[in-house]
A = this chain, B = another copy of it.
């Protein structure tokens, strides 16, 4: 047979089993946390009708999309989970209870130019709450609680959920009679962190044609920081001059007011007036999340409130709020930096049963250990003891359970802790309990803060 050299396409993440186990742990935390807030799991097709997927149109997206013919059909792979959600809700709206809460953790496809850390196939972990006609502000207030639980679930404490409100920004620019330039201004203000206030001032004047007073007013506004109470107080100074601004401020107060009831500590939360989020369709609260010790990663969880999810599919007004985590990139970056906890067991089994004599007894022992709650692999190959232990080492299994004629005669087994080398002899039930206890005591954060 002629041999064809195997390869995986560039831009596609394919992990070795140990890394995959770490990735799955993150997915598991996300799934459990999203579910704990009453979001329904959804699973939409990877392939959609291209016309429908691109109904909204849009430049960059259209260039990157995987689009192809099959028979007479014009098909495309989903490039995000939001457009399929819009289609889903529009299509099934009579069967759904609103507000409709769904989560989806699935792969999306973008044929970007391949480069280090950019993926053409990647997981997004999204939640959205969709209202039928209206959606209470409390839903926007709940989102930071969910973000907080997710990142605490990953084992992190040094992260910050940053929140702003598009109505505050739009209202503020309206006060300065700069509504028509607001998108342009927001793009420049977004660079504050990178280029500093002086250069932003120059850009605002040179690129947007603002007066010095207008630029100063914007910089002064963007410089508002402090505790939630302090920021709200400073914003109160702008109140009463623009209806949209006042509405945004009321929304921001509702979001910040309930943080402690939701269990979000103030140190993990900040109002940040410089956040706008690029997308035009956000209309209220917007969210970004940064790892405080790793600002270079950028926002690891973003989203916001929108007023019109599915206007291109249905006449119904469907406002919503949602967030998204780019999981594949997040995992890649954390792994590159050595921040995925290597101490957590990532072997496919908690225990490897090594028969030293009669296989029948070893089979029964493995089944007993499984009944005790363990993931157990039975090593069936007839090899020398040394080779069996070498396999256990390569697999990285935390415990080897040895069963020789002596153990069988005693109705026991020998449990070897592969990390400490410690070995004890006990019954199968005791072995399962012992192994679970040790694993439990050694469990820790998935992501390290370093």
A residues bordering B, Cβ < 8 Å?
1-9, 12-17, 20-21, 23-24, 35-49, 51-52, 55, 66, 68-71, 73, 75, 86-88, 90-92, 95-99, 101-102, 107, 109, 111, 120-121, 131, 134-136, 138-139, 142, 145, 257-258, 261-263, 310-315, 348-349, 352, 359-361, 363-364, 367, 370, 374-378, 380-382, 391, 394-395
Contact = CB atoms under 8 A, between A and B. Distances in A.
Contacts of A363: 138, 142, 258, 261-262
A17 B381 contact: no
Max chain B C-beta neighbours (<10 A), residue from A131, A134, A363, A375: A363
B35 A97 contact: no
Nearest to A145: B367
Contacts of A136: 380-382
Given A4-B52, A17-B96, A313-B3, A138 B38 contact: no
A99 B348 CA distance: 12
B314 A6 contact: yes
Given A3-B315, A45-B121, 18 more contacts: A4-B51, A4-B52, A6-B52, A6-B91, A7-B52, A7-B91, A12-B47, A15-B43, A16-B96, A24-B41, A38-B349, A38-B352, A38-B375, A71-B111, A97-B394, A101-B348, A145-B367, A262-B367
A394 B15 CA distance: 41
B8 A312 contact: no
Q: Please give the count of copies of this chain that the complex contains.
A: 2
Nearest to A106: B107
Contacts of A75: 9, 66
Contacts of A47: 9, 12, 66, 109, 120-121
A126 to B, nearest CB: 15
A197 B215 CA distance: 91
A112 to B, nearest CB: 11
22 contacts: A4-B51, A4-B55, A9-B45, A9-B75, A12-B45, A14-B45, A14-B88, A21-B41, A23-B43, A24-B41, A36-B376, A37-B377, A38-B376, A47-B66, A66-B68, A70-B111, A134-B381, A136-B380, A138-B359, A138-B363, A138-B380, A261-B363
A367 B37 CA distance: 9
Nearest to A5: B313
Max chain B C-beta neighbours (<10 A), residue from A17, A69, A101, A378: A17
Contacts of A4: 51-52, 55, 312-313
Contacts of A96: 16-17
A380 B261 CA distance: 14
